[in-house]
Amino acid sequence: MTELERRAVRASLRSAFLDTATNQPEAMAFYQGLGYREVGRESQPDWTWTLVYYLKELVP
């Protein structure tokens, strides 16, 4: 992730946006540990999980 974030900064991107799901708590903890903050959730009646959206401001 660190290398991906570095490449994004070099490409003049200012933020990173990603998603995972509530059925992957390890991924949620991983992204939060890297400084991503939750910015939304989405669920559908036929899903057994909820999508969780994250955002991180990238620092050059």
pLDDT for the residue numbered 39: 98
Cβ–Cβ under 8 Å, residues 50 and 19: no
CATH number at residue 10: 3.40.630.30
Q: What does the pLDDT look like over 5-42, one tens digit per residue?
A: 999 999 999 999 999 999 999 999 999 999 999 999 99
What pTM value is reported for the model? 0.90
Check residue 60 and give its pLDDT: 83
Which range of residues forms the domain containing residue 52? Answer: 2-57
Domain count of the chain?
A: 1
Confidence of residue 51 (pLDDT cuts 50, 70, 90): very high
What is the edge-to-edge ordering of all strands in the sheet holding 37-42?
15-21, 51-57, 37-42
